[in-house]
Amino acid sequence: MFLPPSTGAAALFALSGAQLFFSCLGAFSGVILCVSSSTHGPCTSLTLSVAHRASDIRAGAAAGDDLDREILAIWNGQYVPKKASKTRTFRTKFVLFCYDTGALPVLPIKANTYFRYMLWLSKHGVNGWDSAQRYLSEAVTWDQLEMGSLDHRKFMDFFWSKFRHNYKQQIAAKHTGMKLPFRAAMLEAIYLDIDFSSWVDVQDIAAYTFLLFVGVRIGHVAVDAQRAHALRFEDIGFYPSFDDCDFVYFHFRSTKTRPRAADTPYWSTVRAQPHLLLCPVAMLKRIFALNFRGIHTDFVFQASQRSKDPLSRSAFTNNLRLRLARAQRHLTTEFNIDDYSGISFRKGFLTILGAAGLPGYRLAAAADHASIQSSTPYMLDQLRDRAANSDIIGASFVA
């Protein structure tokens, strides 16, 4: 039997010992039957029973019961900042999928939507089976919490296992997310074609320089659905002054990957490189002079001149590839422009620092990663880096 929250503790103690024992025994036997049975009937009955109990807790929370409210808060991870932030990210992605593909209402989720969502994710920045599975599992958990729905994967093992095998062979193996690191020479080649009388040219070269020198996630510069992470003028500090600046400090409003610190700020900085045409401080001063109109909450990188909206991810990527296509003639090695996007600057940042011998713990800290294991996939040796390995091996021989 189940006691709704409104019944209170007194009713529980009013039960006789035998009643309480058999009530608990019934609940446990239901679980055992579900695990051991080869049919879906007992599992379905138990799942629906649990769903009804979850509904009772939600009803109790809605009626103001403090304990039920706390249960819901723990279910939803409201007391864990990282969990709450991740939950919002996962749910937002699923809602975007539903509106993009017409899979409405959002909840409950139909069985065929599982397959459709997995394929949609592979085309929208989520690469690899495990990553896509995590997004799907979060959506399924949301459906279970809100609607008491079943996890349909449990009832289509054959089709799901075939889908999993072929997905890994056909989708994950050739996904488009494997972008290459941006190189300093590529930025110099783009710089040669910049018209400093053009607002969009100045903003683009400032954004590229900022990203390569700071190594932050592209979402701080160009946004898709999430605007909260975009850099604002109040997040920038010039030291010791704007006119005579040696350092620029940045306050980033949140981080998605650092454990126990999602939705909390972190900071970074760049130092002036006066010997370079592509000095990061000089570029930031240029964009500050162009885009700042006295409103500190305005976005630094904007959709258009005097716009209140941040630069979009699609516009950023399109402009970058157009500029790379033009810059090809300045470079000796041809490349595929589709291999580069916003994440390429972060990869370039870590690749350059890694090749220079920066210790792993500093690489992870600079990238705001939880560990060096998180930073390693962003780094890619150049052939000249690997050629330098010969010098190290050669030095080990006795002359």
Instruction: Render pLDDT for 43-73 as a digit per residue (tens, 0 to 9).
Output: 445 444 545 556 677 777 777 788 877 877 7
Instruction: Give 40 or 124, the one with higher predicted confidence.
Output: 124
pLDDT value, residue 20: 38
Q: Is the confidence at residue 282, as pLDDT, over 90?
A: yes
Least Cα distance to 202 among 115, 131, 305, 119 occurs for 305
Closest CA to 341 of 243, 217, 214: 217
Is the four-CA dihedral 155, 157, 163, 164 of positive or negative sign? positive
User: Cis omega (within 30 of 0) on the bond before 280?
Assistant: no
Q: What is the 3-state secondary structure (H, E, C) of 84-131?
A: HHHHHHHHHHHHHHHHHHCCCCCCCCCHHHHHHHHHHHHCCCCCCHHH
Cα 249–Cα 255–Cα 259 angle in degrees, nearest 5: 125
Return the domain boundaries, the chain.
Answer: 5-75, 81-174, 184-387
Amino acid identity for residue 259 in this structure? P
- Per-residue confidence (pLDDT) for residue 356, from 0 to 100: 85
Q: Are 29 and 42 in contact (CB under 8 A)?
A: no
CA-to-CA dists, residue 282 to 247, 249, 299, 362, angstroms = 10, 14, 19, 26
Element (H, E) at 248: strand 245-252
Q: How far apart are CA 323 and CA 341, in angstroms?
A: 12
Question: pLDDT of 134-189, one tens digit each?
Answer: 999 999 999 988 888 999 998 888 888 888 888 877 775 555 457 889 999 999 99
Handedness of CA 306, 312, 316, 318 (dihedral sign): negative
Instruction: Give the integer Cα–Cα distance in Å for 200 and 47.
Output: 56
Q: What are the backbone angles phi and psi of residue 316, rounded to the nearest 5°? A: -60, -50
What's the start-to-end Cα distance of the chain, in Å?
84
- Among residues 276, 278, 301, the alpha carbon closest in space to that of 291 is found at 301
Mean residue pLDDT across the chain = 79
Query: Domain 184-387 sits in which CATH superfamily?
Result: Intergrase catalytic core (1.10.443.10)
Say if CB 204 and CB 323 are below 8 A apart: yes
Is 226:210 a contact under the CB 8 Å cutoff?
no
Mean pLDDT across the stretch 81-102?
81
Give per-residue pLDDT as tens, 223-277.
987 788 899 999 999 999 999 999 999 998 876 655 455 567 788 999 999 999 9
- Is 108's pLDDT higher than 80? yes
Is residue 105 reached through a cis peptide bond, with omega within 30 degrees of 0 on the bond before it?
A: yes
